[in-house]
Chain A
Amino acid sequence: MTVEDLAKLVITACEAESLDYMMTGAFAFGYYGIPRSTKDVDLVVSMDVSDALTRIISRLAPDVEFGSLVQFDTLTWGRRHIGRARANPPLQVELFELFDDPFVRQQFVRKRQLFSSQLGKTMWLPTPEDVVVQKLRWGRNKDLDDARDVLAVQGPDTLDMPYIGNWCALHGTTGRLQAALAAISKM
């Protein structure tokens, strides 16, 4: 199984269950920044349809084994479901439940539908501004590098910087934004 096969399986399952989703992680970052490899297919999924997540997990069951334990991220306490591909390579699927956080909600509402020739279908991604805000909010070293890279590749002049700045002020990450912008000032 290739990572394309796995991504198509997960997206097709969401579509079949009429579940709103957006791809995040390395795929969203790669679309706007500097492509890198990944070990997982990450999706944020809407919880508006009752039992939809359970149905997605059972639809994927022949190909992906999901653990019974839900995990919580320690920054926002968002819920994450982890599955591992049954076939090799041992890729991971991570389904993040959309939850009641003002930024996460707005990021999801602003998502964009784009066509991928690699997947041969359309899929939903966050905006580049929302990728930057999210990465700066997480704040791990690799997230800060990712935020800097999206700013560098897209160019701050093409991005809605007041939008990014407003969220960073609310998240207390203005210093991280300034550091990322300073790092690309010579580009």
Chain B
Amino acid sequence: MTNPHENPAALAELQDAIYREKVVRARAMTPDQRFAAVFELTNSVFERMHEGAMWRLKTTDPQAGWAEVRRQLERLIKAQEAGYYTTTKPTPP
């Protein structure tokens, strides 16, 4: 099997296959299961972010870990929302 990263057409085919698999999996779930999965994924991601922050800070203090997660999220939100929100509504001329 060739390395798909050296062949754009093969890479696109692989990406399509991965996407199809995600859609098929979501279709196999009930709406309630998909809704529940949002909660489960969110809780799990926060746990992993917390563990990662503690590992990077080389700390055993959970509060220090959460403070770092909070800082990272604030930066992420600022970057993601730049230009989409403002605190001043323009006044008509």
In the complex, what distance in Å separates the CA atom of A183 from the CA atom of B92? 40
Residues facing B in A103-121 (CB within 8 A) are 114-118
Closest chain-B Cβ to A184's Cβ sits at a distance in Å of 8
B61 interface residue per 8 A CB criterion: no
User: B46 at the A/B interface (Cβ < 8 Å)?
Assistant: yes
Chain A binding surface SS class:
loop
Q: Do B84 and A116 touch across chains, with their CB atoms under 8 A apart?
A: no
Interface string of B38-67 (1 = CB under 8 A from A): 110111111001100000000000000010
Q: A-B contact count, CB below 8 Å?
A: 107
Residues in A with CB closer than 8 Å to B41 are 35-37
- Chain A: interface residue total (CB-CB under 8 A): 42
A151 to chain B, nearest CB (A): 10
Q: How many angstroms between the C-alpha atoms of A117 and B29 in the bound complex?
A: 14
Return chain B residues, CB-CB under 8 Å to A37.
Answer: 38, 41-42, 44-45
9 closest residue pairs by CB, A with B: A35-B37, A30-B38, A89-B46, A118-B36, A37-B41, A37-B45, A88-B66, A90-B70, A37-B42
Chain B interfacial positions (CB closer than 8 Å to A): 16, 20, 22-23, 26-27, 29, 31-32, 34-39, 41-46, 49-50, 66, 69-70, 73, 76-77, 83-89
